Structure 1
Amino acid sequence: MSTADLLVIIIVVILTIMNDYYFPVSFLYITPVCSSKIVLMGAATNCSVWFTIAFSFDRFVAICCQKLKTKCCTGKKATVVLATTGMLVFLKNIPFYFTEKPIFIFNNVPWGCQKKASIYFDARWVGFQWFDKVTTPLLPFGLILLVNALTVRHIVMTSRVRQGLMTHSKGQNYSDREMESRRKSMILLFSISGTFILFWSVNVITFLYVKVIGLFNIGEFVYTLERAAAMLLNLNCCTNTFIYVVTQAKFRDQIKLTLKYPFKAIAQRLHQSRNSAWRLTAGSANQV
């Protein structure tokens, strides 16, 4: 999840928004490169969304389905799910490469990207755009709400039962470690899925207004909504990593190891070089 969010920041924010603002004329503006970047932007954003769905479902199974937990909530299954999801998402975004055409041609080199007029009237392209919007974010939006509702319902019911049993048998001051663990899982789950729902809600409202209510009525209000939706979408990818850092001790440990690794590698290399030099010096002395 953090890798997908980081890719969104790199591709969308740095290589697209900041590059267009500070370096409007660069090799990234060549039409084939620009079209490829649009595919990668969509794939990174979709991966961020669907990895959030996978995480929410994983937490639902771990909390609510104890029999499936040992079978489904494993590192191998997670790798398979994430790899399959990432591959399908990338394949789904490949058609966007063919929706762009150059703005102008200079010295036989096509520059810029603009949408082809056919994508607004061709039934196949219109259907594909609906499919794209339904899969991201309408379907994920509904799935997260459903999974979270089922998780909350299960936790509330089990909490009441366990609290009643523990209070009756061990007294009022007894601390239930199982419920404490579930409470921490709930905090992480609702922090991530809650920010997703909050930041993506403007995107969903904009889509419903343009495609369902406003149709093709593109005005200043719709433009403002679209810009706000894009900003919040990118902000959502920024906040997830901070949520992991705040709530997950193992994630913080991995970050510390990652930051320390270059310095450890350099120190180890210097130590090996010093040992090699010492051996050479000792060998020369023995020969003398």
Structure 2
Amino acid sequence: MVVSLIPPPPPMSDEYLAIVASWRLDEKITGVLMKIQRIYYPLFAAFGVPMNLVTIMILSRGNCGLSKCVTRYLVAMATADLLVVILDLILRHIPIRYEEQFIFVYSIPLCNIHAVLLYAATDCSVWFTITFTFDRFVAICCQKLKTKYSTERTAAVVLGTVTVLSCLKNIPWYFMFSGWYVLGNNPWFCDVYDTNYASLGWGAFEILHYIITPCVPFILILLLNALTVRHILMASRARRRLRGHSSGESPRDPEMESRRKSMILLFVISGNFILLWAMYMVVLMENRIGWIGHTVYIPVFVTELGFMLQQLSCCTNTGIYAVTQTKFREQWKNVLKYPFVVIVKFIKQ
């Protein structure tokens, strides 16, 4: 009889088995998302670039019934979103998902410049949305200030200031990253200098970067929309009382219907921005906290989903503001019909 000298393995606890099951589920979901991304990102690029280009063209013509001030904001938002699609989606995420076809990217020493441009464009995309929200807040709630602030010249100054500050704010990324690319799907897509991996100084800079974009915008957009909705509700109550005194049981009020639509639009804007950016912000903060020595586990599929949702925001920001305009939709229809009109004319000739 042979007696084994190897002790039997200790029984695995229920907690350990639960962790293993969680890891396996994470791997399965991540695998599915990565396969989806190989289709999602190219399709999204093929959709996002022309959509933003056509939006810029339509708005720039000034035939949508919008003021020049509003048009400037919407054109700036569409331009920033277009740059994010090109710099982040086409030049970053697609090469990551198709790494075997983009292996030459490793040898291109431009990642630090790419990072500065990408983060500056992202900041502009977010803060242009905030400045436009503030402009609408002033136009609705501050009638005395409206005539001075909600002008084409003020919009140009505000947008130019945001652009310059966004570029200056992101220059430190040039010195934090080396010029070489690392095709890994994480917030740091460039080689990082060794001295910066665990540096508290650079860690503080990154956390400040993520607080400015998008944490502060989260707070501002909620605050501005809450104040705007409050003003609309108070004005609506006063108008309802006046109409009730003057005509008894008043009929349907078109003005109140318009205000109600404005409230719905504001809530959609807030919800869209927060929904599409919240998960991405959590991923960014988790990555930085991990580098400075604090372990925070977030499933990999959450990271992948965060990237996908954040990219989606580059086509919804302008859409929410502009596509709801009837004249803008008519211009879009004309653009879509134009190729068919040309073909029909050519055939008839």
> TM-score w.r.t. structure 2 length?
0.64
Q: Does 1:9 align with 2:85?
A: yes
Where does 1:240-259 land on structure 2 (aligned, <5 Å)? 240-252=317-329, 255=332
Alignment check: 8 A CA contact 1:244 1:251 kept? no
Residue pair 1:203, 1:230 contacting (<8 A) in 2 also: yes
Aligned residue in 1 for 2:302: 225
Instruction: From 88, 95, 105, give the equivalent of 1:19.
Output: 95
Q: Structure 2: how far apart are the matches of 1:247 and 1:180?
A: 15
Q: Offset of 1:259 from its aligned partner?
A: 7.3
Label 1:6 to 1:103 Cα distance change in 2 as closer, same or farther (>3 A). Answer: closer
Distance 1:218 1:229 in 2: 19
Name which of 84, 96, 114 aligns with 2:161.
84
> 2:277·2:306 contact (CA, 8 Å) conserved in 1?
yes
1: CA distance, partners of 2:106 / 2:246: 70
**Deviation string for 1:140-199 (max 9, x for gaps)?**
111111111111211111111111211221344444444344334334333222200112
Does 12-21 or 112-121 show the bigger shift? 112-121
Corresponding residue pairs, total: 258
Say whether the 8 Å CA contact 1:56–1:144 is kept in structure 2.
Answer: yes
Structure 1 counterpart of 2:270, which letter?
A: S
* Separation in 2, partners of 1:213, 1:25: 28
Quick check: 2:107–2:180 contact (8 Å CA) kept in 1?
no
Distance, in Å, in 2 between the alignment partners of 1:123 and 1:215 is 7
Aligned to 1:77, the other structure's residue is in SS state helix
Amino acid at match of 1:12: D
- Paired residues of 1:209 and 1:215 also in contact (CA < 8 A): no
Q: 1:32 to 1:25 in 2, by over 3 A?
A: same
The residue that corresponds to 1:50 in the other structure is: 127
Q: 231, 236, 246: which is aligned to 1:159? A: 236
Distance 2:83 2:150 in 1: 25
Q: Which amino acid aligns with 2:103?
A: V
More deviation in 232-241 or 179-188? 179-188
Tell whether 2:205 aligns with 1:138.
no
TM-score, normalised relative to structure 1: 0.76
SS at match of 1:221: coil
How far does the alpha carbon of each residue in 1:190-233 deviate from its partner, in whole angstroms, 9 at most, with x for none? 32222001122223444565667996455762543333222211
Partner of 2:190: 113
Structure having the higher helix fraction is 1
- What is the RMSD computed on CA atoms of the aligned residues? 3.2
- The answer (yes or no) to whether the contact 1:60–1:147 under 8 Å persists in 2 is yes
CA contact (8 A) 1:99 1:119 kept: yes
Amino acid at match of 2:94: M
- Secondary structure of 2:276 counterpart: helix
After superposition, the Cα gap between the structure-2 partners of 1:146 and 1:58, relative to the gap in structure 1 and judged at 3 Å, is same
**1:116 deviation in Å?**
1.8
> Aligned partners of 1:227 and 1:43: how far apart in 2?
22
Instruction: Please tell me the residue identity of whatever aligns with 2:192.
Output: K
Question: 1:277 maps to what in 2?
Answer: none
Distance 1:76 1:222 in 2: 47
Alignment-derived partner of residue 68 in structure 1? 145
How far apart, in 1, do the equivalents of 2:281 and 2:218 lie? 9
Separation (CA, whole Å) in 1 of partners of 2:286 and 2:200: 20
Residue 244 to residue 258, structure 1, CA distance change in 2 (3 Å): farther
**d(CA) in 2 for partners of 1:260, 1:230:** 34
Deviation of 1:17 after TM superposition, in Å, equals 1.2
148-157 or 12-21: bigger deviation: 12-21
Q: Tell me if the contact between 2:112 and 2:180 (Cα under 8 Å) persists in the aligned partners.
A: no
- SS of 1:121's equivalent in the other structure is coil
CA contact (8 A) 1:63 1:182 kept: no
Superposition map of 1:160-239 within 5 A: 160-206=237-283, 216-217=293-294, 221-239=298-316
Match of 2:156, as an amino acid? Answer: T
| Larger displacement relative to structure 2 (31-40 or 41-50) | 31-40
Which of residues 123, 145, 170 in structure 2 aligns to 1:93? 170
SS in 2 for 1:32: coil
Give the deviation of 1:120 after TM superposition. Answer: 3.1
Displacement of 1:30 in angstroms is: 4.3
Structure 1 residue 2: Cα displacement: 1.7
